[in-house]
Amino acid sequence: MAQIRDVSKRAGVSPATVSRAFSDPSKLSKDTLKRVLKAAEELNYKPNSLAQVFRVKRTNTVLVLVPDIANVLFARVLSGIERIAAENNYLLLVSDTKDDIALERAGLEMVETLRADGIIQLGERPLGDLHTHPEPSKVPFVHAFDTPDAVPYPTVRINNVAAADAMASYLLALGHRRIGVLAGLKDRIVTRERLRGFRQALDSFGVPFEESLVEYGPYSMAGGAQSALRLLSRNRDLTALFTMSDEIAIGAVRTAMDLGLDLPANLSITGFDNIEFGKFCTPPLTTVMQPAERIGEVAMTLMCNLLAGETTGDAQQTLATELVIRSSAKRLAQA
């Protein structure tokens, strides 16, 4: 591979000039610039980015910490991040942390040891806090998607409480009163927030909340199927299921159908997230749309600003959600 010295010799200039030809062409005379570019072209010269990066101490790379790459939602967020990253000439290092705090720390270290300029973390971190440990850590950091609440760094999230409230209110407005809750993992912040929204809706409709009507479980189809089975066999009088994710909802639909229920006639079910599949399953899922790609885009944009040294303050972005009404939830038949 040709190096800067070769080019400089061929163009009859110093290496410094060649360097400038790429980094700030305006500094060169028209003539020299042309000569240098020609020489570079002829030698097929590409600056060794390792050397560059080493000298400049900026990798133009950001590390993304994902709890589970294979998860549809995270994948979509990632896709949004990637779009903005590409636009701004950033590379993406992706690490699947499997919710493992050790791996997250390793990530932090990667930045300190200069492999990346900043970190975007997805998903709430169940254990500890990356940032309280040594000191508020000067590593550029953005937290997106299911972020914890009041944190000292930029976040981008949705208002889970309001969204859940809206969804539950819709169910209540349809006349449902006996509503089961298929919640996610009990220790998750999102779970607590969405439950809060649900109760809030109940309150405003003057319907009492019953702890026995909520069933916790993993955010997955299998989890939803199991939770639904437990909840449904315990409570025969439920007319609707408020679930905390589309996957849970789809699992619940499966269970309900296997139980011989006619959906949505016998049981209304709502989801959360609006994954693509919800539109095509049977019955098409009424749910709340969460702008996953957009969350990624905003997160990466925030990171770009951060790295550009713009003081974004503690930009806590909250993105809008939207009820998407399909046909898995129907007005309660007058008994």
Residue 59 binding DNA, by CB under 7 A:
no
Residue 27 binding DNA, by CB under 7 A:
yes
Residue 60 binding DNA, by CB under 7 A:
no
Q: How far is CA 238 from CA 116, 183, 213, in A?
A: 51, 15, 9
Residue 47 binding DNA, by CB under 7 A:
yes
Smallest separation (angstroms) from DNA to the CB of 56: 5
Residue 51 binding DNA, by CB under 7 A:
yes
CB 243 within 8 A of CB 271: yes
- # binding residues, DNA (CB under 7 A): 30
- Binds DNA by CB under 7 A, chosen from 15, 175, 218, 284: 15
- Residue 273 CB contacts under 8 Å (≥ 6 apart), including other chains: 73, 245, 246, 247, 287, 288, 289, 290, 292
Q: 3-state DSSP call for residue 241?
A: strand
CB 224 within 8 A of CB 250: yes
Instruction: Choose the contact partner of 3 out of a copy of itself, DNA, none; CB within 5 to 8 A by kind.
Output: DNA
- Binds a copy of itself by CB under 8 A, chosen from 27, 186, 279, 331: 279
Q: How far is 210 from 213, CA to CA, in rounded Å?
A: 6
Residue 25 binding DNA, by CB under 7 A:
no
Q: Considering only the stretches 22-30, 121-129, 214-222, 226-234, report the one whose residues sit in contact with DNA under the rule CB under 7 A.
A: 22-30
| 183 backbone φψ class: left, alpha, beta (φ>0; ψ -120 to 50) | beta
Residue 335 binding a copy of itself, by CB under 8 A:
no
Residues that bind DNA in the complex, under the rule CB under 7 A: 1, 3-5, 12-20, 22-23, 26-29, 31-33, 45, 47-48, 51-52, 54-56
